[in-house]
Structure formats: C-alpha cells, structure tokens
Amino acid sequence: MSPHAHRVPDAPGGGLREFDLIRRYFDRGPTRRAALGIGDDCALLAPATGCDLAVSTDMLVAGTHFFEDTDPEALGHKALAVNLSDLAAMGARPLAFTLALALPRPDEAWLGAFSRGLFALADRHGCELVGGDTTRGPLNVCITVFGEVPNGAALRRDHAEPGDDLWLSGCTGEAAYALRCRLQGRPLAAGDPAQLRLDRPEPRVALGLFLRHLARAAIDVSDGLLGDLAHVCRRSRVGAEIDAASVPMPAALRALPPGDALRLALAGGDDYELLFTAAPENRAALAACALPHGLTRIGRIVPGEDVRVLDARGARIDIDVGGYEHFGA
Amino acid sequence: MSPHAHRVPDAPGGGLREFDLIRRYFDRGPTRRAALGIGDDCALLAPATGCDLAVSTDMLVAGTHFFEDTDPEALGHKALAVNLSDLAAMGARPLAFTLALALPRPDEAWLGAFSRGLFALADRHGCELVGGDTTRGPLNVCITVFGEVPNGAALRRDHAEPGDDLWLSGCTGEAAYALRCRLQGRPLAAGDPAQLRLDRPEPRVALGLFLRHLARAAIDVSDGLLGDLAHVCRRSRVGAEIDAASVPMPAALRALPPGDALRLALAGGDDYELLFTAAPENRAALAACALPHGLTRIGRIVPGEDVRVLDARGARIDIDVGGYEHFGA
C-alpha cells in the first residue's frame, strides 16, 4: 500500500495512522511477477517481451454500485472480478493490480473478510496486488488491473465486420433479477444461483484467452447486453441483429412473462459475460469450446448502425433499455 | 473513460447516463504514446524496450485530503501532481494515467475547471489520460499513474547506506503552514507562495530523472520529512541524522518561533519535495544541479535504526511528529 498515512483536521494526533493497520491485510511480502511490489513510491511491472500491458480501472461506490450492507468478502471478490472481466474482454492475461480503498473507519473484521474475498479470486487468476492507497472516507473501492496481451492480439471493440456472427458466453439477466427481488423487498437466498451472479460474478478470463485467435471484436457485458453491443457497433461503424429466440434464458427467468424475461436478459446489466463477434468460418471451433460455460450464437453483425432485436418471423421487437434500475460497474 | 454508465436504484430512468457527459471533458482523441486509449475495455500500454513500468495510485477524498470547497482547477492539478511526485521519487519518466472520479452530481462548470487543471499539468509532463471511470458518489479522485524507468535504474527506498549524504530538494513546511492558517480561520491569499505550495505542488519530475545515476535511495516528502525518512531507514535498515541548522527554512516560516518553524519543516507534510541519499563523491555533481530548485545537504545516513535531529552542538532535538494536523496524500 501507499506509505502515506492520512490525517484530517478533525482527527488530530495522527488519527489516521490507524489506517496503517490496513496494510496488515494486504501486504503479503515479495512479489512473484512484478519487479517491485508494495512498500515503495511505485511498483515496478515488467510485461513480457512482445506484450502490451492492458490496463483498466473501475471504482465501486457504496450506495451507487452496491448496498452499504454488502458482505465484505463478496465485495472484495466483485471489486476485482469486474476489473478482471475487462481484461478478459481484451484477451489479456491477468498480471497485477493496485487497490485504493476509502473506509469510514478502520474495521478489522470488515478488512479481514474483504481481503479474503479479494485474494481468493486474485490467487485463482495469478494476479498479484502490487500497491495502492488506503484512507478515511465514504466507502469506495478503486482497483486498477494490469494484464499482458501479445502485441496486436488484443480483442478490441472496433474490429466487428458485417457478416460476423454475434456470440454470447453463458447467459444474462440473473444479476438484474436478483437486484430487482431485493429492491422489491423479497431478496433471494444468499446461495441462490441468481443471487450469486449478482454477488460473485466470475470473470471469463480463460475464455478471453481462448478467443484471441477466434474472435474479431469483444466486450464484457456489464451495462446490459444491448447497451454494450451498441458500444461495439458505434466503434466498429456497423449494425447488429439479435434473434430473440436464440438468447439463452437462465432458469430464474423462465417463470417470468416472456417480454419481461427478455428485457432482463438484454438490458439488465451486471452480467460480466463476454459478447463477441467472429467470422462464420470459426463456428465449429467456437462450438467446440470446452470451457465450463457455453457459447451461444445470438445474432449477426450487419451494415448500418442500428442494433435490432428480431422475433422468429424477423419482425423488430422494441426493448426498453432505459427503464431498468441496476447497479453498473 | 469506462464505457459503463452507472445507474442507482434511486435514480430510475437512466439518471446516471448524465455521467456520460463527463467523457466530454476527458476524451481528447487518439493517444500519442499508448497503443490504445479511452473507449475500449482496457487501455494498452507499451513501455519502451529495456524499461520497467512504474505504477502508483493515490486516492484523494473530499474532507480527508482537501476541503469540499477546493477550487476544482487546483484539485485537478494536485490529484495528478501527487502521483507524478511518486514517479519522480522512483526516477521514472511520466507516460500515462487513468482517472476514476466519483462526483455527487454532474456539474459542467466543476468538470471544466477540474479537467483544465488536470490536463495543464499532464501536458507539461507528456503524461496522457488513457482510461478511467466516472460515477456518482461522494467526491473522490483516484489516479493511477504510469512511468518508464530503465531496468534496474529505479530509485528505491531500500538502497540507502551508512555514510551516504542526506539531501532535500527545495524546502518543506509551507504547505502545512498554509493549512494551519486556514484551520485557524485566517487563510492566506490564494496567490501567497505558501498557499500555492498547498494548492499546486510541483512534482520534481526532472529532478527524479537527473538523480537516476547520482542518488542511492529516494522518497517523495508527502507525509512529513521525518516520517518519510523513517520509511527509507526502515526499508534500508539504517539510521539517519539531520542537522537542524542545515534544514532550509522558507520565508513564510522565518517569523515563527524557531522550534515551531522546525517542526513545520520536518513534520508538516504535503510538500512533494524529494528526499534522497547519495554517496559523498557525488556532492559536486549534485551541487551543480541546474534545476530551478536547490538541493540542500541536511544530514547523513548512519548505522542503526534511529532517525535523529541534532542541534549545532550535536545534541538531540525532540520533534513531535504526531501532533500535527495535515492533509496527506
């Protein structure tokens, strides 16, 4: 963590020196991959020869991205997961991350649980904490993550071409459904699969690496499938069509009215699946993907600039993407 | 910036889509040095061959590190300056940065001024914004900065050796004095040199590059000179002595009682000068430093682990480093 102790005018006597204790939960000794880790003015990273360093930052704010009473272990997991998902969408291999954390007060139980969730995920992906900052303030978690990707191999948003297939990993809509249940006062059980999608999303890191030579453009689905697809289309200057009947529907959504379920799946957000385009000649290779989450071909890239959802007869379905309430990250 | 629009349960109808406007103030088109900048899931950085990437993160929180009513242009400057100061302390050349920004509400006047202050400093140091995140929340600015340093050339905290001279760039104490004046209800004028030290610190980037082959260990003085020197000593397993009479005293402090002035200079904080150690054979080269801020030899590294301040007769002076109220960054 940063060496800087923080003190505020209303906390004389070095009140924020207490925040030094936070380091206890985050400094795990010498780094394995980084040239220099926690404890100096900067960390030193040395990406492998022939690789670019992929960098992404996400800030999660209490009350905006998560409930104040969120289980800190789940928050530690999710704060890193949403960043690893950005690496996955670029086809980058996780390398390291920094953590900046503002807390209203030093709370050892909270820090212990938060760091457990954080490091359990980090260790699974070989991603090491190399530095950061801890301070007093309204609860805020800002992670910057670093990954390696061979020069020119990154999956970008601006490479989709008309004629590409449109693919989705896993399925979408469960996290938004779990959030809606909570907002309506009938929260799902902590172990419910839909609740786990909201609380502990699994970044598709291995899939991102697998796609390096098979996909043309990719994005992670964090803000709702249609909204994220629109980002790809805008940057690639293309349009897209989604076949509504082909959109995978998770179990939690099957009891809902079909229009409602479709809207959750296409506009719900907080999914952290990968949405990508690929040339039709790669269909067999993609269908053979042995990763533990299926890939579904849900549509195609077309000329133009519109993103359309089509019913079985090819007629356009209007989806209201603006009306949803969701956490975004 | 991040592609993710953020929406909260209490802001239905895509309320946080307004935050998209923030991009207007930060997206300045194609990058010059980075392989890929704002607008994808990740930015792509390609450090020069033979260089490590130096990384530092600092989070500035309203009410903890700055007053809520701080001039946003000065805040934009300072948020980047404190990060560039960390690069300077490693001898790293600024390359790029990411910005994560939480704002209570989108405020175009605030954003315009903040981005002006930010980019004026960034441009002077050739440091480009490559990505980030904007969201609703209590005011919080988290910058992660990247710099290049040739493999093995970084100025580290753990390389000080007994017999080294101890050097300080410029002088310390003015920022703490300006903060004290404000807290005592008699703020300095905005253009007062001491107030400028608090509001618009100048990171010693050129000095850091100059020191690569002359200094042995270095740190930036952000938390008070004695506290930061203690970090160097702890990591290098050495002690240090400071000659009180040699500590440079800025004009603003000369009218104060000598003990008070010395305490501000040695424990005040928020200075962003460089404190470094160097072998005695480098004295002439360091004294010839043509950079526009002097270097002063203020003491020496000794065996042991104590950091001591000595008077003209070699007797120890006790400095209370805990009692000060200051902003740290």
> What pLDDT score was predicted for residue B6?
33
Tell me how long chain B is.
Answer: 329
Q: Tell whether the model's pLDDT for residue B92 goes beyond 70.
A: yes
The pLDDT value recorded for residue A325 is 43
Write the pLDDT tens digit of every residue in A15-60: 445 456 667 788 777 777 777 878 788 889 988 888 999 999 999 9
ipTM of the complex: 0.86
Optimal mutation site among B1, B2, B4, interface A, most CBs of chain A within 10 A: B4
Is residue A65 a contact partner of residue B135, using CB atoms and an 8 Å limit? yes
Q: Reply yes or no on whether the pLDDT at B28 is more than 80.
A: no
Which residues of chain B have a CB within 8 Å of the CB of A268? none
Cβ-based neighbours of A311, under 8 Å, separated by 6 or more:
A244, A245, A317
Report residue B171's pLDDT band, with 50, 70 and 90 as the boundaries: very high
The percentage of chain A sitting over the pLDDT mark of 70, rounded to a whole number, equals 90
Alpha helix (H) residue ranges in chain A:
20-26, 72-90, 108-124, 174-183, 193-199, 205-211, 225-236, 258-267, 283-287
Q: What is the mean pLDDT of chain A?
A: 88
- B256 near A CB under 8 A: no
CB contact B308 to A (< 8 Å): no
Of A45, A101, A326, the CB nearest to B55: A45
Task: Flag whether pLDDT at A180 surpasses 60.
Answer: yes
**Same fold yes or no, B15-150 and B157-317:** no
Which chain A residues touch B23 with a CB distance below 8 Å? Answer: none
Beta bridge partners of A39: none
Could you tell me if A144 lies within 8 Å of chain B, comparing CB atoms?
yes
* Dihedral angle of Cα B66, B71, B77, B82, to the nearest 10 degrees: -10
> What's the pLDDT at A22?
64
According to DSSP, residue B189 is labeled P
Task: Please report, for residues A3, A114, A133, the alpha-carbon distance to residue A27 in angstroms, rounded to integers and kept in the order given.
Answer: 12, 14, 12
Residue the block writes with tokens 């903040």: B114
Tell me what pLDDT residue B68 has: 84
Which of A23, A36, A55 best tests the B interface by mutation, with the highest count of B CBs <10 A? A55
B298 touching A (Cβ < 8 Å): no
Decide yes or no: CATH 3.90.650.10 for domain A157-317: yes
- Does the domain at A15-150 match CATH 3.40.50.1400? Answer given as no
Structure tokens at A91: 């086809």
- Distance separating alpha carbons of residues B32 and B35, to the nearest angstrom: 8
Q: Taking the domains of chain B in order of start, what are their residue ranges?
A: 15-150, 157-317
Q: pTM for the whole thing?
A: 0.89
